[in-house]
Chains A and B, each alone.
Chain A
């Protein structure tokens, strides 16, 4: 088990290196000059020259890559071309917001997706199955911005039930920043009103973001459950008189969990890599929005930093999923 873990960690490092290599060279194929993008129209020629020298943009690309990798091994992601700030500081600032939103969306997805899928499988071709399938179709096909703006209009503007944007009401004083996750920071500050307010702010974006994944998850759960429910051992269990609930949860769901787990890993990775549209529409300061803004201003160090983080997140999630396989399926053993 341990040697497997070590081998997999080596693999993670390799994947992340591959990510840096690919992003660096793709980014540098773009013919646009980051100095002009960063300094704008009014910049003087000398300013542009000085900028290129300061960030090493005047050197050959392989040299730039070596410098970048050298810094990276020392744990330095470099400075953002746009803000001049250490990229690591920006990631610390923006990733917690994404993490908070992703976890909430993940819960929405689990709570909506798995039960709906099971229900649909158990009542195949009945009214509830058709309802779930239609909902999943709508959920998967509705563009995020449409759903978001619709909910904002109905729930926030017309009914005034939920806030439109942000993580906390403007009139509420924000808690001291500890984790960067508003829900946790308000709890740490024992500011209950702010905590409830932060939850209210989380509802809409988490729902909008979770809805799409929930639709995929519901369909996948339904299909897997249907397949398993038609297996011989389920029939045998039924014949033996095992209670319906035990069949569904102990026998069928546990066996369906492997493919669902694989899908969950991918979906969580997707959520954690930042949801540009959701973050933009709800004014949520996460890394999705950060990386878009960095990319449009050709801020390579920032884009590289985010790509690296996302690559790492994906690799780690995959590792955890693999390890969970062994836990769920006793036939799988790692040596």
Chain B
């Protein structure tokens, strides 16, 4: 019995002291990280994967804070875009003295290796390099130890390419360490799934799948974090997320329910806020020949039938922003105008004008899952259905598995669909081309909307390098698509977060990036 007491006492003391040392130096970030499948920056294409790898690897250029429209120096201290004969030549000058966690210096050969690696591995995000930037093997050249030139064809947008480089696919890996751990022709893919070889402020110590990811300060990094350790704790259940935050087991909870957010905001121990996302939830209308939506008047009737204010403030409970144009808030070219107001009488008039005086019946396809803002998609569909009915539009809601919704949508077999879209990279072109260019075989194609004006404007804006001119072009495009396109944008969902008041310096940009190095914790 005495022995037991002694053991208990020692355990309690050692536990107590370990906690006292660690608490202010360890940040525990809770959320649903179940989409994590790899820690390899050139393979990862999941939100959680990006969240982790952004802190393990540095990119040549990056965005800082919540601003996604101004590029800042990363590993490259400067860069310039030159107009070659058939190519854009982008020259990056690397800063000296950046080191990987291994202690190796970051040089031009690592940049070349990383870009070639991304092209060779062909990960799920590789189309950003191969299709958007049209980057070819051999197009990245080291001029000297600290200078890299990348050439992309004239048909690609250098602006898009630079913004793609802020994404984890552009995370520069330690070529020596990776090659040492490569197996056969795998470019170290298997090893980098569970290990890190970057120059970011943190290094990966351990990943217990389904449970937690453990990061520690990278001793060789140029950027010194304020915390020694960051732990991503996987908690799928929103109710548990809240309880874990309240009991102090986690410092940050991402993905709370609107109710939990309200309860926490009344508690002085916590801070709550809604982080922006770049997602848009929208209705897509198939305009193929013979479809009622082929008539622009019918599409307008739909847009006038939706009570967006009620949707955003009521059902979404403020976990989203009202928006009608195709470039989300946070990106260059965002247009805050919302000219379509709820006007069912007008919708009815438009329908009559279009030849449907007795109204119109069609099928609205929706996922059985959760839509942005934590609301079941079927609930949103029900609200839309009742709104549309007031305008004389009878939507028969069909709720099916998300993958099945997408398969039908991709096959152009829908009439109307309620889905979400997030741009692949934080540039207006990440939305403009898919939404406007029929030839990109994305959203415009799925809705069979082949409009020469929209295509021309989207292509022009993508290739424009002058920011002011680019904004002007996007203003034209967003306005045109708003009035003519096959979409009715519903809202831009936000990510609800709760934090302990002890946590300082937390910023989450709309792309979902969080720089852990800026976060500190009060005792």
A164 touching B28, Cβ below 8 Å? no
Q: How far is the CA of A293 from the CA of B210 in the complex (A)?
A: 11
Structural contact, B11 and A192, CB atoms closer than 8 A: yes
Q: How many residues on chain A are close to B (CB under 8 Å)?
A: 53
Asked whether B249 is an interface residue with its Cβ less than 8 Å from the other chain, the reply is: yes
B235 CB–A CB distance under 8 Å = yes
In-complex Cβ contact of B15 among A42, A165, A196, A280 (8 A): A196
Partner of B401, one of A32, A83, A85: A32
* B1-48 contacts to A (CB < 8 Å): 7-8, 10-11, 14-15, 18-19, 22-23, 26, 28, 34, 37-38
Interface size on B, residues (CB 8 A): 54
A90 partner residues in chain B, CB cutoff 8 A: 209
Candidates A149, A152, A171, A290; contact of B26 at CB < 8 Å = A171
Q: Is A157 a contact partner of B247 (Cβ separation < 8 A)?
A: yes
For B23, the chain A residues whose CB sits under 8 A away are: 171
Q: Which of A10-18, A123-131, A281-289 contacts B (4 or more CB under 8 A)?
A: A281-289
Return chain A residues, CB-CB under 8 Å to B247.
Answer: 156-157, 160, 163-164
For A170, give its contact among B233, B246, B406, B407 (CB under 8 Å).
B233
Interface of B: prevailing SS = mixed
Point out the residues of chain A lying under 8 angstroms from B233, CB to CB. Answer: 165-166, 170, 283
Smallest CB gap from B26: residue in A: A171
Chain B residues near A33: list those with CB within 8 A. Answer: 403, 407
Whole-angstrom distance from the CB of A308 to the nearest CB of chain B? 20
Please provide the chain A residues from 159 to 188 with a CB less than 8 Å away from any CB of chain B in the complex: 160, 163-167, 169-172, 174, 177
The answer to whether A280 touches B211 (Cβ under 8 A) is: no
Select A166's contact among B14, B15, B249, beta carbons within 8 Å: B249
A193 near B18: Cβ-Cβ < 8 Å: yes
Chain B contacts with A in 406-436, Cβ cutoff 8 A: 406-407, 410, 419-422, 424
Q: Is B375 an interface residue (CB 8 A)?
A: no
Is there contact, CB below 8 Å, between A281 and B237? yes
Q: Does B231 contact A (CB under 8 A)?
A: yes
**Which residues of chain B come closer than 8 Å to A165, judged between CB atoms?**
233, 235, 240, 243-244, 249
- The stretch of A1-9, A43-51, A64-72, A212-220 in contact with B is A43-51
Q: How far is the CB of A51 from chain B (nearest CB, A)?
A: 9
A143 to chain B, nearest CB (A): 14
Complex interface: chain A residues within 8 A of B259 (CB): none
Q: Are B127 and A171 in contact (CB under 8 A)?
A: no
Closest A residue to B245 by CB, please name it. A164
Partner of B206, one of A47, A149, A174: A174
Q: Which residues, 235 to 266 on B, are CB-close (under 8 Å) to A?
A: 235-237, 239-240, 243-244, 246-247, 249-250
Q: How far does the Cβ of B368 sit from chain A's closest Cβ, in whole Å?
A: 10
A42 and B243 contacting across the interface, CB-CB below 8 Å: no
The interface residues of chain B lying within 8 Å CB-to-CB of A34 are 403
User: Is residue A330 contacting chain B, with contact meaning CB distance below 8 A?
Assistant: no
**B404 at interface by CB-CB < 8 Å:** yes
Please determine whether B37 and A166 come into contact, CB atoms closer than 8 angstroms.
Answer: no
Q: What chain A residues lie within 8 Å of B441 (beta carbons)?
A: 44-45
Within 8 A of A (CB), among B367-423: 401-404, 406-407, 410, 419-422
B238: shortest Cβ distance to chain A, in Å?
11
Sample of 6 more A-B contacts, CB < 8 Å, known A41-B419, A170-B28, A285-B210: A47-B127, A164-B249, A171-B19, A171-B26, A193-B11, A286-B210
